[in-house]
Structure 1
Amino acid sequence: MNGNSTPPSQDVVRFDAVRKVYGRSTTTVTALDEVSIGLRRATFTAVMGPSGSGKSTFLQCAAGLDRPTSGTVRLDGVDLSTLGERALTRLHRRRVGFVFQSFNLLPALSVVDNVTLPLRLAGRRPEKAEVDDVIERVGLAARRGSRPGELSGGQQQRVAIARALITRPAVVFGDEPTGALDTRTAREVLSLLREAVQKAEQTVVMVTHDPVAAAHADRVLFLSDGRIAGSLDRPTVEEVAARMTRLGARAGELVAQGGAR
């Protein structure tokens, strides 16, 4: 057995005592402070917190886009700290999908070519049935030949979701995937992510500031000052909003105390 991996576990992402510090000497900022948590397979997790709480750093470390200062991050059983840049790139291409707020599509490519790009980068030949299936799932069968500039924002995000799902990744990471969309379109995109979890048994981890978006998740994980500040299972919008209000008030108090010193 490969020394970098473990048998499949219930956790597709695992943090053990993860700490991430930016800066040097007296100007350091602790973005993550001894975080230990597991995110289970075939679930939809939303990550929330006030500005500066560490949620973006959490996502970047979980996805292997940034390396922790100390502690261990495992992704699909692989200890990311053991991987060099080439091995990490291979892992990203084969086992990770990304959906960003800004879509990040290539404007010169068609819907089909944007969707199949991860397969080509990974050296895999796209299978027509597989490509047709994922494009059908996101409702773009009639726009296969269109380029991003010919699509609405919601349609472009659908292309991005199809691109994230085409490699059948262990986990799809979303960074504010509905942040640039109107309410109705955002709901449609969230429903697609929810369907990917329920029907295709994908795993989705999404950073969001929106309680409505978070309420689509199985679990909402809250961060504050770089630490886990609790979680809610299958919460309502009102429950998420109330928790965020309390965390925001607490963060404001801490800032005020720091300024008074």
Structure 2
Amino acid sequence: MANHGRTAAGRPEAVRLDGVGKSHGRGAGAVVALRDLTIGFAEGTFTAVMGPSGAGKSTFLHCAAGLDAPTTGAVRLGGTDLATLTEAERTMLRRERIGFVFQDYNLLPSLTVAENIALPLLLAGRRAGPDLLLRTAARVGLADRLRRRPAELSGGQRQRAAIARALVTGPEVIFADEPTGALDSRTARHILALLRDLVDSGGQTVVMVTHDPVAASWAHRVVLLADGRVADVLDAPTAERVAARMARLGEW
């Protein structure tokens, strides 16, 4: 793999956005969602991305994860410039090198937990061995639930299954979009502790979009977006610091 960007601490970057701009529509009616956004996400770190409604969080996620192409600038996953890839190559990259976790889990109700976890491997044309499935399920505390279907699981267990599905390909980065948004506070805490442990103990890279200062406080740092730009970066965040900074951005 080509040598890619490094953070100030010398750690390689899993994802980097350079001068990324994104507009929806054309001409006078165009809406600018991202403006000259430059930021990197180091390997083995947990970053929360926050901002007021309309700040560009969803567009950032779609561009960073290769779901959407930026209007200007470059997005790199490791040493790969996503702009150089065909649509088919981008699809394969998302399947093999990126994991996704969503607020509503996106599990297929007709499949068992094991089959849901195996899905990214099957889509990428790889064999889903039982040892790998069991190991992945054990990492998220679901080793005894592999034969259950989503309807037989609690909300927290469904999100654990979704995290296992995101992990199974050994992705370079996991993008989580409001992963605790549908959970009660106690269950959310368990899911956030799991994500943090995947980073601290497993070396995983996690980038999480959230509106919740408590959820953001589990991350190593918080990136605050406003009007499509980086407004601030908070290291070692607390919920109180995040809430105070968000208030100054006009969220509440």
Whether the TM-score (by the shorter chain) exceeds 0.5 is: yes
1:209 aligned partner, one-letter code = H
Q: Provide the C-alpha distance between the structure 2 equivalents of 1:140 and 1:13, rounded to a whole number of angstroms.
A: 29
Aligned to 2:125: 123
1:197 aligns with 2:199: yes
Amino acid at match of 2:24: Y
Structure 1 SS opposite 2:2: coil
CA distance in 1, matches of 2:196, 2:78: 20
Task: Give the deviation of 1:45 after TM superposition.
Answer: 0.5
Q: Deviations for 1:56-86, whole angstroms, at most 9, x for unmatched residues?
A: 1111100001111011010122111111111
- 1:179 is aligned to 2:151: no
| 1:70-149 correspondence to structure 2 within 5 Å | 70-149=72-151
Match of 1:29 in 2: 31
Q: Give, in whole Å, the separation in 2 of the partners of 1:34 and 1:90.
A: 27
TM-score by length of 1: 0.92
Structure 1 ranges of 4+ moved more than 4 A: none
Task: Determine helix, strand or coil for the equivalent of 1:200.
Answer: coil
Amino acid at match of 2:157: Q
Deviations 1:137-182 (A, max 9, x none): 2111221100001111111000000000011100000000100000
Q: What displacement does 1:111 show? A: 0.5
Equivalents in 1 of 2:201, 2:102: separation in Å? Answer: 22
- Written as runs of structure 1 = structure 2, the 5 A alignment for 1:157-236 is 157-236=159-238
Counterpart of 1:133 in 2: which secondary structure? helix
SS at match of 1:231: strand
- Paired residues in the alignment total 246
Q: Counterpart in 2 of 1:237?
A: 239
Q: Which residue is equivalent to 1:13?
A: 15
The one-letter code sitting in structure 2 at the alignment partner of 1:208 is: T
CA distance in 2, matches of 1:134, 1:170: 15
Amino acid at match of 1:206: M
Q: Distance in 2 between matches of 1:130 and 1:34?
A: 41
Letter in 2 for 1:200: G
Deviations 1:105-131 (A, max 9, x none): 011100101001111111111232221
Q: CA–CA distance in 1 between the matches of 2:129 and 2:115?
A: 13
Structure 2, unpaired ranges of 5+: 6-11
Pairwise CA distance, 1:236: 0.7
- For residues 75 and 182 of structure 2, the distance between their equivalents in structure 1, rounded to whole angstroms, comes to 30
CA distance in 1, matches of 2:88, 2:20: 23
Shift in Å, 1:29: 1.1
Q: Pick the structure with greater CA Rg.
A: 1
Task: For 2:98 and 2:71, locate their aligned partners in 1 and report how far apart those are by CA, in whole Å.
Answer: 22
- The 3-state SS of whatever aligns with 1:30 is strand
Q: Deviations over 1:160-206 (max 9, x none)?
A: 00000011100000000100000011011111111110111010000
Distance in 2 of aligned mates of 1:233 and 1:29: 31
Q: Percent identity?
A: 60
Q: Which moved more, 1:138-147 or 1:215-224?
A: 138-147
Look up the SS of the partner of 2:118 in the other structure: helix
SS at match of 1:164: helix
